[in-house]
Structure 1
């Protein structure tokens, strides 16, 4: 922790509208440059701070009380945020006011007195193996970049990677001969994930027939990323979401389908096949096994099978 700086004297003119925005920008810059948070994490904090500043208006931060912050929680409920999102906003608020303490702008942190909203663990959507197979076969030769799209879907399902991880994956991260790829997760943590035959075949077909043509369209030299857009740029996380939604609609998958659904399906199908929870934790890149345990609630058929197999009174 950095040493405390002398308390700043805030002129009366600064105490009006706009002071929250200035301190919020300073806080985000602190997270980016001094805490070295990942880009996506900084973006999430920035979204939370935007909402907080919208609520803040001309309120003066050093004068905020616990009652004021309770009103902020009510404001978020009025905006129909779910309990999980509100809990995340509370964490952001606590960290922001802690930063202002370090800067000497405030003496006490009233957010520390806010209770943490407990959120119920939600069971993620999971595709059946049959629907997953239909989705992976959805890209067809009449689609402009069907080989790339097949490689994308196969990678998401074969590795359990997040959309953001597949988006930044580079060609050098592939180890085709060794049958695995390198994934960079949250906090820039790296992990090795095996690739099965269907995923390898889809990726190799894309590398041979489509990627060279896409790479030639890049105006910034040879692009390092594995999955490229029609203009030879990195395939963004947003575009990956659009493609998954497009092919989900085509194959009759649920409307709530997203890239994360394939990640959930990857984990659940592994557990259904008998994989150990610790192994699945490592493959998903979860820091805590508690996060992985949610998948044990999804596959009730496996639990029934274990019960009938081992319980003497089953």
Structure 2
């Protein structure tokens, strides 16, 4: 096994599920390009090589946002190889990526007033809609994360504050504080229950799944008279964007978003909250 192959295996071992599959595909594409160019995929690579690869992705007709996504695994591969001492410098860290234009995004964001209306209307539907809306729109959870929240997950107190334990993207555990308004809504949803899934299907009382999250968000958006498609990621997007617009330091917003790289969080700060179209991100 070559040094590059060993580094790739070590890097991919950090991830599982969809992220592992995606990054493995991106590294295969990078390795294939290097082989065709007579280059070692790791040793001796310079920033110019990485930028030639990025240009080649664009020449294949990929959208700028797709090119940026294709580079996630490659940039992580070099970053950790550098951290592990396999290369002296990271050649991808300053490689120029295409700028993502707003019209490429499929995420429809919410401005501050729309987010407030969304949260208020959600609570008028059912306590389950209210809890889901706050988990997505205040704590910036992803759809699968919100669906997986259990009552036991927010029973602990840390430094005098109730906290929520969850397993996020890439099976990474995380702990986040719960504000009093969020905790109040979660407690209303919990009722007299002491364990089990928090958010339930309002009619059947069965635990929700990712598809239910999408359906419940769509129902809230319709009731709130938001005249465009709103997804669970729209709420996550709104939570992060509104935090940045309110002057929250980038580091704190990164912690809220649970992004490994602050540059990912910065993508959410490309437009003022007064606009209703989000930036390109699926993180």
Q: Kindly tell me: are residues 191 and 36 of structure 1, through their superposed partners in 2, closer, same or farther at Cα, counting changes over 3 Å?
A: closer
| Corresponding position of 2:64 | 83
- Shifted more, 283-292 versus 228-237: the winner is 228-237
SS at match of 1:159: coil
Task: Provide the C-alpha distance between the structure 2 equivalents of 1:161 and 1:121, rounded to a whole number of angstroms.
Answer: 24
| Residue in 2 that maps onto 1:27 | none
Write the distance in 2 (CA, Å) between the matches of 1:157 and 1:300: 14
Of 80, 83, 100, the residue aligned with 1:121 is: 100
With the length of structure 2 as denominator, give the TM-score of the two structures.
Answer: 0.61
1:241 aligns with 2:214: yes
Aligned-residue Cα RMSD (Å) equals 4.5
Q: Deviations over 1:127-169 (max 9, x none)?
A: 222211211122366x5xx111110001112211121221222
Conservation of the 8 A alpha-carbon contact between 1:38 and 1:186:
no
C-alpha distance in structure 1 between counterparts of 2:273 and 2:182, whole Å: 28
Deviations 1:34-92 (A, max 9, x none): 836322324656999xxx9xxxxxxxx9xx968xxxxx979974xxx633235545878
1:194 counterpart (158, 168, 177):
177
The answer for unaligned runs of 5 or more in structure 1 is 5-29, 53-60, 67-71, 94-115, 213-221, 302-314
Match of 1:157 among 137, 147, 158: 137
Distance change (3 Å), C-alpha of 1:74 and 1:200: closer
User: Does the CA-based 8 Å contact 2:23-2:73 persist in structure 1?
Assistant: yes
* TM-score (normalised: structure 1): 0.56
Task: Write out aligned runs for 1:157-236 (5 A).
Answer: 157-175=137-155, 178-208=161-191, 224-229=196-201, 234-236=207-209
Contact 2:122 2:133 (C-alpha < 8 Å) held by counterparts = no
How far did 1:253 drift?
2.0
| 1:199 Cα offset (Å) | 1.6
Instruction: Please say which structure displays the higher CA radius of gyration.
Output: 1
Deviation at 1:202, TM superposition (A): 1.4
Distance 1:44 1:228, change over 3 A: farther
Conserved 8 A contact 1:166-1:183? no
Q: Does the 8 A contact of 2:119 with 2:130 survive in 1?
A: yes
Give the count of matched residue pairs.
Answer: 230
1:223-253 Cα deviation digits (max 9, x unpaired): x433234556542222212211221122122
Note the C-alpha offset of 1:299. Answer: 3.0
CA contact (8 A) 1:160 1:267 kept: yes
Structure 1: how far apart are the matches of 2:65 and 2:129?
32
Alignment partner of 1:133 is 2:116: yes
Select which of 231, 256, 259 maps to 1:283. 256
Give the deviation of 1:285 after TM superposition: 0.7
Structure 2 gap segments, 5+ residues each: 3-8, 38-55, 75-94, 275-283
Paired with 1:262 and 1:120, the residues of 2 have a C-alpha distance of 23
Counterpart CA distance in 2 for 1:272 and 1:74 is 32
SS in 2 for 1:138: helix
